[in-house]
Amino acid sequence: MTADIHSAPAARPAMGNFERYLSLWVALCIVAGIALGHLVPGLFKAIAAAEVAQVNLPVAVLIWLMIVPMLLKIDLGALGQVKEHWRGIGVTLFINWAVKPFSMALLGTLFVGHIFAPLLPQEQISSYIAGLILLAAAPCTAMVFVWSNLCEGEPHYTLSQVALNDLIMVFAFAPIVGLLLGVASITVPWGTLLLSVLLYIVIPVVAAQLWRRSLLAAGGEPALTRVLGRIQPVSLLALLTTLVLLFGFQGERILAQPLVILLLAVPILIQVYFNAGLAYWLSRRFGVAWCVAAPAALIGASNFFELAVAAAISLFGLGSGAALATVVGVLVEVPVMLSVVRIVKATKPWYEGRAET
C-alpha cells in the first residue's frame, strides 16, 4: 500500500502565548460563565431567547467568526483533489454512522442505566439515555471547522466531509434514532437541520469565498496570509466568548444539579475519546495523511448539539431528562474537543513515524 501519511499543509508559525495557554483561558471562561449565569441570569436568558428553530443567533455569529479562518483557506477549484483522501472519508463515515450512535447507546445503558442508576432520579433514567443517543446520532456541522483549523487539518477534506455528513443526516438520522430508541415515528426537527446547514455552511462558505477572491485579486497570496494572521486571534476570542455564553446559559442548572450533570458527562467523555481514538487509529492503519486523520478524529467524535437539543425537546419536552442530557453534551463539547486537538497535535510525530508498507 502506498501511504500518503506524510503529506500535510505547509508549516505554520509557532504558537503565540495566547494559543499556548488556551487551556487556561478555557478553564477561566467556564468558571466565568457559570458565575455570571448565576449572578446575572436575566442577561443570559435574554441572549438565550434570541434563537430561531433552537439555533441561537448570537452563538451563530460567534461561530462565523470562528470558522472564517478555515473557510478562507479553501480553494473551491481544488475540491476535486479531495478524492485523494478517500480512505479518510471512509474512516469518518464508518465512525459517524456505524459506530458512534451505537457506542453511545451501549455506554448510556451501562453507566446511566446501571452503574449510576442509584444516584439518579429513577423516573428520568430512560429519558437521560434517550438524550445521550440523540446527541450521538448526528455529527457536528459547524464547530468541526474550528477544530480542524486548530489542529492544522486539510480544509478541503473538512468541507467535503461535513457536506457529505449533512447529506447522509437528512436520510439516516430518523431511522437510526428510531431503531435505538424503539420509537416508530421520529419527528426530525427539519427547521433546525436546514437552518444550521444554511447558517454554518452555505452563508459562511459563500462569504469566505467572496472575501478570498477579493484578497487574491488585490494583493495575491501575501494579502491572504496577512489577513489570516490578523483574524486568527479574533477566532480564538470568539471561541472563548462562546464558552462563557454556553456555561452562562446553564449556570443556574449546573449549580442546582451538579451531580446529575457530572454523571451524564461521563459516558459523553468516554464516547468522544473512544470514537476519536478509533478514527485516528484506523486512519493510521490505512495510511491516511495526518492532516486528514486529525480532523477525521475530531469529526468522528463531535456531536450536532443544536439538532440533538431540538429533537429532545420535540420528543420528550423542555424539562425532560433527555433535554438535560443533550445540554450536558453542549457543555462538554468545547473543552473536550480542545483536549482532542491537543492530543492529535502532540501525537503527530508518532503518527507519521509509522513505517510505510
Is the distance from CB of 197 to CB of 158 less than 8 angstroms? no
**Cα distance between residue 145 and residue 171, in whole Å:** 23
Alpha helix positions (H), 73-124: 86-94, 100-110
Is the distance from CB of 126 to CB of 105 less than 8 angstroms? no
Q: What is the pLDDT of residue 59?
A: 86
Q: What is the pLDDT of residue 271?
A: 95
pLDDT at 311 > cutoff 60? yes
User: With pLDDT > 70 as the criterion, what percentage of the chain qualifies?
Assistant: 90
**All cell numbers assigned to 125:** 433514567
pTM of the model: 0.82
pLDDT at 46 > cutoff 60? yes
Q: What is the pLDDT of residue 12?
A: 45
- Tell me the pLDDT band of 226, cut-offs 50, 70 and 90: very high
Amino acid type, 236: L
* Residue with cell string 478553564: 27
Residues 6 or more apart whose Cβ sits within 8 Å of residue 29 = 240, 241, 243, 244, 247
**What structural domains does the chain harbor?**
20-58+82-205+241-350 (1.20.1530.20)
pLDDT at 7 > cutoff 60? no
234-241 mean pLDDT: 87
Residue whose C-alpha is closest to residue 302's, from 326, 325, 336: 336
pLDDT at 15 > cutoff 60? no
**Cα distance between residue 237 and residue 227, in whole Å:** 16
Q: What is the 3-state secondary structure (H, E, C) of 307-347?
A: HHHHHHHHHHCCCCHHHHHHHHHHHHHHHHHHHHHHHHHHC
Q: What is the pLDDT of residue 105?
A: 94
75-110 pLDDT per residue, tens = 877 677 778 889 999 999 999 999 999 999 999 999
pLDDT at 357 > cutoff 70? no
